[in-house]
Amino acid sequence: MLNNQGRPTHAGEATAEPHRTFTSNRALQMEEALIFEIGRPDVTGVDIDEPAAFSPRLGGLERAAAIGLPGLSEPEAMRHYVRLSQKNYSIDGGLYPLGSCTMKHNPRLNERMARLPGFADVHPLQPQSTVQGALDLIDELARWLVEITGMESVAMSPKAGAHGEACGIMAIRAAIEASGEAATRRIVLVPESAHGTNPATAALVGFEVRTVPAGPDGKVHADAVRPLLGPDVAAIMLTNPNTCGLFESEIVEIARLVHEAGAYFYCDGANLNAIMGKARPGDLGVDAMHINLHKTFSTPHGGGGPGAGPVVLSKRLAAFAPVPFVTRDGDARRLVEDADGTQAFGRMTTFHGQMGMFVRALSFALSHGGDGLRQASEDAVLSANYVRACLGDLMSLPFGDRPCMHEVLFDDAWLKDTGVSTLDFAKAMIDEGYHPMTVYFPLVVHGAMLIEPTESESKASLDLFIATLRDLAFSVKNGDRDRFSGAPYHAPRRRLDETRAARNPVLRWTAPKLAEKAVAAE
Ligand SMILES: *Cc1c(COP(=O)(O)O)cnc(C)c1O
């Protein structure tokens, strides 16, 4: 029952369970079966004559049974994929409050630039003399990134934040090998609030991970790092601003201690969008840091890729950067692709990185200018603090009523004894047409709800979002558990067993008859 006592009742609003429909569609919300379920193997959208008699030359390897592809008419195929595409929630469809993710508007100007034939149609194996403009663009973006971060150089090729982490930690490993300390410096320190990719990266590159506890204020303290440092430590990986949305105010002291111990300082720069134009990582003592162009420079996340995560490097690490990189010979640009004769640790990618993302990122930088980039950071922080100030009286803030950076973290203390969990609350947001915020991350907070509105939401859009969350929060306080326990009520699917889906993904469709036989045979 959709019995929402805390919700204003609009005239004509249905209060009872909606009528079942014959089709299972709900108005424009269409049910869509798998393509194998709607397709017929004997149907084809094209009309090709049977081939005349021929003798195959495949040496007996030709297919013996039908291929089993689903057959659909062209309109059926078209509708299937269009309907599926309409089930996506996207930043172009609505506000996306995920924290630790930075889903912001992708300006259409950047998209236009990326589609210019001179950028969109270049091939990575073209002679360098024919792609001088593209190389110049990579070089110019590199100069922006080095300037913004106050670092020595940048490796442009990594294709995501996590890939950038691997690049930075591999550069650190190369530097440690070069100084003959590979056998002793085996440990990478990672705070417990870190994004999961940090310990995964360190382990993947072959280091042992040791956890740094966070303080009760959600920050990493120099006093917690000091006793862990020694000649066996290779690096620390610290995120700033951290995943609780707080600025690590002891970062300079931590960098000093890490360097004093002969180790390197890797900064997870996924949250650069909160400090760009305000603080330069190079000035804070950082040796390596990835920049998620899809978080700070508004390039699309695009369902996991293609992304770009350039890594800026300090003087100590610059020589170990992977190939390829762009250099200048007079007026000409040259791509150095061969690691021989350099200290480069190797390469991260087959080619040169994500050209389309570089174009979008430079377009973003040029259209904003230095002052505009600073304002983007300021507005992102202002938006998060506006949400914090407008919800802090109803929802609990684990680190007190202090300003946050680009994202605001709530916990579930305010839900205690209400029968509503963080998950229930998030699911009820879906009914209201919002993608939920990040939940249960970071792990240092119980029942975390992490909201990052970004700089690109208008005040009107934030106000509606805030009003919706306040309305939901009042429902919690009024004991309207129904609104949450079965939510989402309006989505095409209700609650899925997400754990089972993740642990036992069924990625292959099996024809029902075969599936029955398989069950019978067991
Ligand atoms: C997003 C994020 C990453 C990973 O970046 P991807 O581009 O998704 O690989 C790493 N650390 C933090 C703090 C992040 O927010």
Confidence of residue 5 (pLDDT cuts 50, 70, 90): very low
**270 in ligand 1 pocket by Cβ < 6 Å?**
yes
Supply the mean pLDDT for the chain: 92
Instruction: Average the pLDDT over each of 3-7, 64-68, 123-127, 146-150 and give the range with the smallest value.
Output: 3-7
Instruction: Average the pLDDT over each of 39-43, 238-242, 435-439 and give the range with the smallest value.
Output: 39-43
Ligand 1 centroid to 225 CA: how many Å? Answer: 23
Q: What is the pLDDT of residues 138-160, one digit of tens each?
A: 999 999 999 999 999 999 999 99
What is the fold of 370-492?
Aspartate Aminotransferase, domain 1 (3.90.1150)
Ligand 1 centroid to 306 CA: how many Å? Answer: 14
- The predicted model gives 21-25 an average pLDDT of 88
Percent of the chain's residues with pLDDT above 90 = 78
Long-range contact pairs involving 316-320 (C-beta distance under 8 Å, separation at least 24): 316/175, 316/264, 316/287, 317/152, 317/168, 317/171, 317/172, 317/175, 317/264, 317/287, 317/288, 318/152, 318/153, 319/343, 319/344, 320/171, 320/174, 320/175, 320/178, 320/344, 320/345
> Would you list the DSSP string of 350-389?
SSS--HHHHHHHHHHHHHHHHHHHHHHHHHHHHHHHHHHH
Confidence of residue 521 (pLDDT cuts 50, 70, 90): low
Residue nearest to atom 14 of ligand 1 (CA): 270
- The predicted model gives 250-259 an average pLDDT of 98
Q: How far apart are CA 333 and CA 338, in angstroms?
A: 15
**452 in ligand 1 pocket by Cβ < 6 Å?**
no
Query: Between the CA of residue 164 and those of 109, 284, 292, 394, 437, what are the distances in Å?
Result: 26, 20, 8, 39, 25
User: pTM of the prediction?
Assistant: 0.89
Percent of the chain's residues with pLDDT above 70 = 94
Which numbered atom of ligand 1 lies nearest the CA of 243? 13
Residue 12 pLDDT greater than 60, yes or no: no
Residue nearest to atom 7 of ligand 1 (CA): 161
Residue 460: its pLDDT value, please?
98
What is the fold of 109-366?
Aspartate Aminotransferase; domain 2 (3.40.640)
- Lookup: tokens for 126: 């073209």
Q: Are 357 and 308 in contact (CB under 8 A)?
A: yes
Q: H/E element holding 513?
A: helix 512-521
Domains of the chain: which residue ranges? 1-25, 109-366, 370-492
Confidence of residue 42 (pLDDT cuts 50, 70, 90): confident
Confidence of residue 14 (pLDDT cuts 50, 70, 90): very low
Residue of 80 and 301 predicted with greater confidence:
80
Ligand 1 centroid to 270 CA: how many Å? Answer: 6
**218 in ligand 1 pocket by Cβ < 6 Å?**
no
Confidence of residue 519 (pLDDT cuts 50, 70, 90): low
Residue 412 pLDDT greater than 90, yes or no: yes
Q: What is the pLDDT of residues 69-98, one digit of tens each?
A: 889 988 999 999 999 988 888 899 999 999
